[in-house]
Amino acid sequence: MRFEVRDGLFRYPGGERIVLDHISLSLEPGSVLAILGPNGAGKTTLLRCMLGFLKWDEGCSVVDGTPVGQMSPKKFWKRVSYVPQIRQAPAAYTVEEMILLGRAGEVGSFSSPKERDLAAADAAIKQTNLESIRHCSCARLSGGEYQMVLIARALASEPEMIVMDEPESNLDFRNQLLVLDLISQLSHEGMICVFNTHYPAHALRWAGKALMLSKDGGYRFGDSRRIVTEKSISECFGVSAIIGSLETGGGTYPDVIPVGIEDAGVPPVQGDDNVIAGISILLENTENAGLLNRVLHEYADCLIGRMGVPYRPADVHVIHPVPLPRDEFVFHPLRRADVSDLRRGIVLANGIRDRKSGIDVSGCSAACQ
Q: How far apart are CA 129 and CA 177, in angstroms?
A: 13
The SS3 call for residue 303 is: strand
Confidence band for 325, pLDDT divided at 50, 70 and 90: low
Q: Is residue 258 part of a domain?
A: no
**Residue 139 contacts by C-beta under 8 Å, 6 or more apart in sequence?**
89, 90, 91
Between the two ends of the chain, the Cα-to-Cα distance in Å is: 44
Least confident of 7-21, 81-95, 330-344: 330-344
Residues 6+ apart with CB under 8 A from 110: none
**CA–CA–CA angle 211, 336, 39 (5° rounding):** 30
* Average pLDDT rounded to a whole number, residues 121-141: 93
Question: 246: which strand partners?
Answer: 253
Domain-terminating residue out of 223, 238, 253: 238
Contact 8, 169 (CB under 8 A): no
Q: Which of 188, 208, 238 is the last residue of a domain?
A: 238
198-221 average pLDDT score = 95
234 and 284 both lie in a single domain:
no
Q: Identify the CA nearest to 184 among candidates 160, 208, 166.
A: 208
- Coil, strand, or helix at residue 64? coil
Inform me whether the pLDDT recorded for 225 exceeds 50.
Answer: yes
- Give 100's DSSP letter: H
Q: What is the pTM of this model?
A: 0.72
Question: Is 268 inside a domain boundary?
Answer: no
Q: Are residues 222 and 318 in the same domain?
A: no
Whole-number pLDDT of residue 226: 96
* CATH number of the domain encompassing residue 160: 3.40.50.300
Mean pLDDT for 150-176 is 92
261 located within any domain:
no
Q: Which phi and psi angles does 128 have, rounded to 5°?
A: -100, 10
In the predicted structure, residue 159 carries a pLDDT above the cut 60 = yes
Based on the domain organization, do 88 and 219 belong to the same domain? Answer: yes
Q: What is the C-alpha to C-alpha distance for residues 275 and 278, in angstroms, rounded to an integer?
A: 10
Residue finishing a domain among 218, 238, 258: 238
The number of domains in the chain is: 2
Question: 340 has which bridge partners?
Answer: none
Boundaries of domain holding 296: 279-368
Edge to edge, the sheet with strand 58-63 lists: 20-27, 3-10, 58-63, 66-67
Q: Is 80 exceeded by the pLDDT of residue 323?
A: no
Same structural domain, 189 and 337? no
pLDDT digits (tens, 9 = 90+) for 175-199: 899 899 999 999 999 999 999 999 9
Does residue 120 belong to any structural domain of this protein?
Answer: yes
Are residues 131 and 222 located together in one domain of the fold? yes
Which CATH number does the domain housing residue 328 bear?
A: 3.30.70
Q: With 80 as the cut, is the pLDDT of residue 49 above it?
A: yes
Q: Tell me whether residue 113 is in a domain.
A: yes
What CA–CA distance (Å, rounded) separates 56 from 4?
13
pLDDT in tens, 230-288: 999 999 999 999 998 887 878 889 999 999 888 655 455 555 555 556 677 777 777 77
- The per-residue pLDDT for 92 is 81
Q: How far apart are CA 255 and CA 236, in angstroms?
A: 18
Q: Are residues 230 and 294 in the same domain?
A: no
What percentage of the chain has pLDDT greater than the value 90?
A: 53
* Shared-domain flag, residues 212 and 88: yes
